[in-house]
Structures are given as C-alpha cells and as structure tokens.
Amino acid sequence: MALLDINFHSMTLGKHHTFKVILPEQQDMFQTDKPVKKLRTLLLLHGLSSDDSMFSRYTNVEMYANTHNLAVVMPNADHSFYQNMKYGHSYYDHVLEVWRYAHQVLPLSWEREDNYVAGNSMGGFGAFHFAMNVPELFEKAVMMSAALDMDASFIDYDWHDFDGRAVFGDIEDISGTAMDTRHTVLQAAQTHGIENLPELYFMCGTEDELIDRTDSFMKFLEDTHIPHKYDREPGEHNWSYWDKGIRKAIDWIFEGKEVDKDNQIMNWVG
C-alpha cells in the first residue's frame, strides 16, 4: 500500500492545503504495457478534534483497505463540520474539490457504484451531508457516532477554539438549516427521490453521549420510510470503537462485490 501525503493548491480555499490517500498497489501499476485498472474509493472524514492523519494513525484502515483493494481519500476540514462556513472557509466545496482532484490525478474510478463516503462524529455529520446533497457520487454512506439530530444549543458547544456560529451563523432556530438533519433528509428525498439516495449505515455505541440523539434520528428515518441499517451496541466515543467500526463499514461496503485478487498486491502479511 502507498500512503500519499498530498499538499496541493486548493482553488477553493485560495491556499495550499493537505489531504492523505491510502492507495492500494496493483500488479498493473508495475506493467507499463497495460492501463491501470481504476480503484474503488472511500472518502473518509475526520471528527472535530482530528485531522486527515487520524484514521491512518489510530485505526487499521490501511490493512482493511488493502484486503479489499480500496483506495481511501482523507481530506482535512478543520472545525468546519464540512460546511461552507458562515465566517470562514468553504470546506464543503473544498472536500468535493479534493474528491474530484484525487480522481483526476490518481487511478480512481468515477463510477457511483465504486465510490463511498464515511466519517466519525463531525465526520459522520459530513458523510451524511454529502450523501444527501450529492447522492449521485456515492453508492453507500457510513455514519459512525455521528452528530445528528442536533438542536440550537449546539451552536454554543464548548470545545477548544470551536465556534458553532462561525460555521452555521448566528441562528436561534435551526429549522431548515444545515444543522437540521431531519430537514436535510426530507429535502433530499424530495429532490432526488428516496430510491436514488445512497445506502445508509449508522452505528453508535450505547455509552456514547450521542446515543439518545442517534436513537431519535433512527426513529425519524423509520417513520419517514428511509431505508437504513443501524448498529446499536456497546461502545464509547473513541478510537477503539471507530477502529471496529471502520472495519465493519468496509466489510458492509463490499457485500456482494468481488475483489480482483489476481491484480491485487497484499503487502501486510509479514
């Protein structure tokens, strides 16, 4: 596996910025007489206290990706909640820019059936947001311990140098805003059609402070007949849970899919 640390000039942010890519090596990458087969790709989004390095540092995602011949693109979105911030950078646009840039310069498939999005905590909110707003890009979406079903009090969430008002604006009523994930679902269903939304997989630990909000949001999805999978099991809001979670996520993504083992290079076996 290749681990790429890419520093590029973001046309969206107007500055240089970084993202990381886990890139499986294939036999045809070393054979100049044939084209390289395009890879399936997971867009993997970090949480509020993290950056683009954390999944490769605190989980075995590289090993899980190697097993499935899966490329993993990990952008860096600061404290933005993957939004075009009210007072700050346009990170929603930037993440899509990273996705397109990576697909343009690396051997990644553009086909919807070969692309997926996932994230933890703030990244779970981001994964859900992209799944609902650009469902034509992703076949499946995985939300781990996601910040969903928030209320207006989250604007004043107390975390080191995080300012919810910088992200979402000076709002007192979240109805119809990006914070309103129920509205996001209903709008996506109306705009794109339920049948055209990505397959959705949610997971949250029962010891996680977000479990009650997750439970209430799952009830809302059931009531509105939005198909989804939900794993509610013991676990906390930490990397031990997300390491298990990202492995389950990748296994779920590949249900019913075949891996080209003849072209695959397994390089974590000793």
What's the rounded mean pLDDT across residues 23-48?
Answer: 94
- In this prediction, residue 153 carries a pLDDT of 61
Query: Rounded distance, CA 135 to CA 131, Å?
Result: 5
Angle at 261 between CA 260 and CA 267, to 5 degrees: 125
Q: If pLDDT is split at 50, 70 and 90, which confidence band does 185 have?
A: very high
- In this prediction, residue 88 carries a pLDDT of 79
What's the rounded mean pLDDT across residues 67-89?
Answer: 89
- In this prediction, residue 87 carries a pLDDT of 82
Structure tokens at 49: 């206290």
- In this prediction, residue 144 carries a pLDDT of 98
CA torsion angle for 192, 125, 208, 175 (degrees, to 10)? -80
What's the rounded mean pLDDT across residues 206-216?
Answer: 96
Whether residue 270 is predicted with pLDDT greater than 60 in this model: the reply is no
Radius of gyration (Cα) for the chain, nearest Å?
18
Whether residue 66 is predicted with pLDDT greater than 70 in this model: the reply is yes
Q: If pLDDT is split at 50, 70 and 90, which confidence band does 160 have?
A: low
Q: If pLDDT is split at 50, 70 and 90, which confidence band does 85 have?
A: confident
Q: If pLDDT is split at 50, 70 and 90, which confidence band does 161 have?
A: low
- In this prediction, residue 155 carries a pLDDT of 60
- In this prediction, residue 150 carries a pLDDT of 82
- Round the average pLDDT of the chain to a whole number and report it: 91
Q: If pLDDT is split at 50, 70 and 90, which confidence band does 172 have?
A: confident
Among the ranges given (46-55, 56-65, 101-110), the one the predictor scored with the smallest mean pLDDT: 46-55
Whether residue 7 is predicted with pLDDT greater than 90 in this model: the reply is yes
Residue 232's DSSP bridge partners are 204
Whether residue 68 is predicted with pLDDT greater than 60 in this model: the reply is yes
What's the rounded mean pLDDT across residues 122-146?
Answer: 97
- In this prediction, residue 206 carries a pLDDT of 98
What's the rounded mean pLDDT across residues 162-182?
Answer: 74
